[in-house]
Amino acid sequence: MAWLVAGLGNPGDRYATTRHNLGAMVAEELVREGGAKFRKTRFVPVDLAEIHEAGDRVVIARSHRYMNESGPSYASIAKKQHIEAVHVIAVHDELDLPAGTIRLKFGGAAGGHNGLKSLQQGFGTRDFFRVRVGIGRPPGRQDPADFVLEPIPKRLEADVAIWADLGAVAVRALIADGLEAAQNRLHGAG
């Protein structure tokens, strides 16, 4: 079986160390741990890497488009790789979860997350897996958009690296063990 991991984030150095790029950070962690390297693809603005997990081929993708425009690129890669939407795992930041909390789910609404909205439009369905990496709500009255797009403070860099690692663990558990077993294992951890 083949899987596509869509590491949601925004391209470029300006966004590389923001909370909104946690999905891309998880994708990078999976690639690093798998001993693979991202490579550019022709005709689609996406970098790809391939690893294997539990005997399955796992294609890891990181878009060159902004998150709210990335859905069609991920859908195009899935089609070229012969991967159905039900074998797509979107990895993304989640404001509505405490920082460092990991939650897995299948399907559902986008909940205001523009990256998920774009994926739903690109695939024409809500039926794909999600690895939700909690970032918590902004302090005080800070605008959530500013909060997710500001650089991660130095004091939180080590924590964010742990969150990305936990996201990678969640992706591997989802592929190896299935949704329910992975939820049972990981939902108590966060």
State how far the Cα of 48 lies from the Cα of 31, in Å rounded to an integer: 9
Dihedral sign, Cα of residue 84, residue 111, residue 47, residue 53: negative
Give the active site residues: 20
Nearest to 176 by CA among 58, 20, 48, 45: 58
Q: For residues 18-57, b (16+ Cβ closer than 10 Å) or e, as one string?
A: bbbbbbbbbbbbbbeebebeeeebeebbbbbbebebeeee
Determine how β-strand 46-53 pairs with β-strand 39-40.
Answer: antiparallel
End-to-end CA separation in angstroms for the chain: 29
Q: Is residue 136 exposed (0-12), middle (13-18) or buried (19+ Cβ within 10 Å)? A: middle
The dihedral region occupied by 107, where left means phi > 0, alpha psi between -120 and 50, and beta the remainder, is left
